[in-house]
Amino acid sequence: MNINILAIESSCDDTSASIIQNGRILSNCVANQAAHQLYGGVVPEVASRAHQANIIPVVDMSIKKAGIKKEDLTAIAFTRGPGLMGSLIVGVSFAKGLALSLNIPMIEVNHMMAHVLAHFAEDPKPTFPFLCLTVSGGHTQIVLVKSHLEMEVLGNTIDDAAGEAFDKSGKLLGLGYPAGPLVDKYAKLGKPVFPFTEPKVDGLNFSFSGLKTSILYFLRRELKTNPDFIKNNLNDICASIQTRIISILINKLKKATIQTGIKQVAIAGGVSANSGLRATLTETGKELGWTTYIPRFEYCTDNAAMIAVTGYYKYLAGEFVGQDVVPMARMKI
Ligand code: KG4
Ligand code: ZN
């Protein structure tokens, strides 16, 4: 009999549903929420309401695309956290309702664990143990991955996440939300001629708030004498910001490989879509003899396929939850 798992992701501003059959992804549907662009960031109440509007069509579409019927489902996996409470609650409640009506078990998934396991959505799959740099809008972590369901966080950000560093710097430049992909686009056309210093942070932890402040002061100074400074230098400013963020990330990864002796290195999360980070990881890997793993774009930013993969491994391990499960905004790996 086929194992068909429906997975639901609603932790932030993307509503996504996916079907995995016997460990193979059959569908991965995502509804993005454009409304937040108006506000320059995710507005939790708006996100929650949009999830409510999107969840049924997105789940329907994922089931149709997979070529199955809802009665064929074996289990439902859902993101329990971390994320925005009002967003999580929509996915969790929907999963509970559907699981109850179909009389099938539920599987809770940690969103950050799922970003790592996105690497198991297709080949080549990393072998254990490996290191994963998970860089998203809310997190920046170096994770030691011992097995599918056994992970240890070796380093964390002590303030902003890497994605926030991209988004907040981009906002200072007048770019729309999320600014990360735009900084990436303009950086490709520029050179990293403006020096922003690398913060000194202990161990494998990260800090990005100092970078944001130094960009702010730098722009204020330059704009005083040249009001068109940003307009005339946008590509070079973006290249400078991006290069610094990447060097902060890669230097800590280098440190982690030395500390652990592990040379299998993966990246995951929304910022792993960054072309500069992808290229630098590949180059560094070649130079230092690492085997590197970079997810396909659709598996970098938030998606339910990664929830489905994690749900599948948890299904095999017999890890289910009951109807009393509640969302956890600050869920840890
Ligand atoms: O993983 P994700 O989709 O959502 C969270 O779990 O937070 O990550 C979103 C983050 C945003 O900060 C966005 O600006 C960033 O990923 N991002 C990028 C790129 N694409 C998405 N940052 C830099 N370059 C990109 N190409
Ligand atoms: Zn995410």
For ligand 1, residues with CB inside 6 Å are 12, 136-138, 163, 166-167, 178, 180-181, 184, 269-271, 273-274, 301-302
User: Tokens representing 44?
Assistant: 């939790």
**What pLDDT score was predicted for residue 49?**
95
The answer to whether the pTM exceeds 0.75 is yes
Q: Please identify which residue in the block is written with the tokens 């500390």.
A: 259
Judge contact between 12 and 83, C-beta under 8 A.
Answer: yes
Residues 211 and 79 in one domain: no
Residue 5 · residue 315 · CB < 8 Å? yes
User: Are 170 and 311 in the same domain?
Assistant: no
Is position 203 within any domain? yes
Give the whole-angstrom CA distance, residue 311 versus residue 76. Answer: 8
Tell me the C-alpha distance between 242 and 175, whole Å. Answer: 14
Three-state secondary structure call for residue 153: strand
What is the CATH number for 79? 3.30.420.40
Q: What are phi and psi of 132, to 5 degrees?
A: -130, 125
Of 328, 313, 299, 331, give the one whose Cα is nearest residue 18: 299
- In the numeric block, the tokens 């992808």 are attached to 278
Question: Is 263 buried (19+), middle (13-18) or exposed (0-12) by CB count in 10 A?
Answer: middle
Do 84 and 204 lie in one domain? The reply is no
pLDDT of residue 14: 93
185-225 tens-digit pLDDT: 999 999 999 999 999 999 999 999 999 999 999 999 999 99
Tokens matching residue 301: 């930013």
Indicate if 291 and 147 belong to the same structural domain: yes
Same domain membership, residue 146 and residue 207: yes
Same domain, 151 and 256: yes
Query: Are residues 268 and 130 located together in one domain of the fold?
Result: yes
Q: Is residue 306 part of a domain?
A: yes
In a domain, 180, yes or no: yes
Number of domains in the chain: 2
Q: Is 78 in contact with 107 (CB distance < 8 Å)?
A: yes
Q: Are residues 138 and 282 in the same domain?
A: yes
Ligand 2 mean position, distance from CA 226 (Å): 38
Q: Which ligand is nearest to the CA of 42?
A: 1
Same-domain pairing of 307 and 283: no
Domain extent at residue 27? 4-116+300-316
Q: In the chain, which residues have pLDDT < 70?
A: none
Distance 138 CA to ligand 1 centre (A): 9
pLDDT of residue 205: 98
Residue 304 and residue 16 in contact, taking contact as beta carbons nearer than 8 Å = yes
Nearest C-alpha neighbor of 88 from the set 126, 58, 47: 47
pLDDT of 81 reads 98
Q: Which residues pair with 206 in a beta bridge?
A: 157
16 inside domain = yes
Residue 42: the pLDDT is 86
Taking CA atoms only, the protein residue closest to ligand 1 atom 2 is: 270
Looking at residue 266, its pLDDT comes to 98
What is the best residue among 14, 28, 166 to mutate for testing ligand 1's pocket, by most ligand atoms within 8 Å of CB? 166
| Residues 88 and 133 reside in one and the same domain | no
**Are both 57 and 190 inside the same structural domain?**
no
Residues whose CB is less than 8 angstroms from the CB of residue 84 and which lie 6 or more positions away in sequence, other chains included: 11, 12, 42, 44, 47, 48, 329
